[in-house]
Amino acid sequence: MMDGNIAYQGYACQAAPYFEKLGAPCPTYQNPSDFYMKRLAVRYPPPPEDIAMVDFFSSEYKNVLEPDVI
């Protein structure tokens, strides 16, 4: 979840490969959960780069993962 938008939904073990394909790889030896919580955090008031990040990741979720959600 990112600013009220879904960024990922699925198995934890598949999150890192998914985000890596989107250009946001988790650094080696870093906890993926911690890394993505920080990576997907939105500051307030949101600067343009945070708005673009929300748009990008939520759009990718809708196009790639949402069709498979039951």
pLDDT digits (tens, 9 = 90+) for 22-32: 999 999 999 99
What are the C-alpha distances in Å from 46 to residues 2, 52, 59, 68?
A: 12, 10, 18, 30
The mean pLDDT value for 12-22 works out to 94
Looking up tokens 């939904």 gives 9
Q: Does 70 have pLDDT greater than 80?
A: no
Residues 6 or more apart whose CB falls under 8 angstroms from that of 51 comprise: none
- Does 35 or 70 have the greater pLDDT score? 35
Q: Is residue 28 part of a domain?
A: yes
Reply yes or no on whether the pLDDT at 36 is more than 90.
Answer: yes
Tell the residue number behind the tokens 């960024």, with chain if given.
7
**What is the extent of the structural domain holding 35?**
12-68
Within a domain: 23: yes
Q: What is the pLDDT of residue 20?
A: 96
Q: Look at residue 5 and tell me if it is in a domain.
A: no
The tally of domains found in the chain comes to 1
- 1 in a structural domain: no
* Amino acid, single-letter form, for residue 44: Y
Rounded CA gap, 8 and 37, in Å? 11
